[in-house]
Structures are given as C-alpha cells and as structure tokens.
C-alpha cells in the first residue's frame, strides 16, 4: 500500500488544501497562465486522491470480509 503512512497522508492533505486555497484566490482570473497552474494542480491532486480512495475502499472491503468471517 502506498497511502498507509500517516505522515504521507498529512502531506497529501496539506498540498491539496493549499491548492484549493490557491484556486479560490484565483477564481475570478481569466489569465490562462494563472488558470493553467490551477488545472495542473487539479490533475495531479485528483490522481492522488483517486489512489487514496481506492486504497481506503480496499481496506473497507477487507474489514468487511474479516468481520463476516469472525461473526
């Protein structure tokens, strides 16, 4: 698993929050250079978050199987 490190998850959270904050500040911009930065961050962050969600989903499925076996 890639996202099983709490420190790594904290770094991901900080990065994504920083990018969201930057995007909020530039929300009214029409400058393509400023908007490209938001788009690049979005593309990177979304791929990372899909990875986190997939691992979280996998952990929940394993937990569900584990609980069914021990019930």
Query: What are 14-69's pLDDT values in tens digits?
Result: 999 999 988 877 667 778 888 888 889 999 999 999 999 999 999 888 888 887 75
Alpha carbon distance 38, 19 (integer Å): 7
- The dihedral sign for the CA sequence 16, 36, 27, 25: positive
Task: Say if residue 70's pLDDT is above 70.
Answer: no
The pLDDT of residue 18 is 92
- The dihedral sign for the CA sequence 15, 19, 20, 24: positive
How many helices and strands in the chain, by DSSP H and E? Answer: 2, 0
Residue 39 sits in which domain range?
6-69
**Cα three-residue angle 27-29-33, rounded to 5 degrees:** 115
Residue 1 belongs to a domain: no
Average pLDDT over residues 3-23: 87
- Number of structural domains in the chain: 1
Residue 40 belongs to a domain: yes
pTM flag (> 0.85): no
The pLDDT of residue 71 is 44
């Amino acid at each position: 698993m890639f996202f099983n490190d709490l420190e790594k998850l904290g770094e991901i959270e900080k990065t994504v929050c920083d990018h969201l904050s930057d995007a909020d500040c530039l929300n009214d911009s029409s400058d393509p250079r400023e908007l490209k930065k938001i788009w690049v961050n979005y593309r990177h962050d979304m791929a990372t978050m899909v990875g986190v969600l997939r691992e979280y989903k996998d952990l929940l499925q394993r937990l569900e199987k584990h609980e069914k076996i021990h019930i």
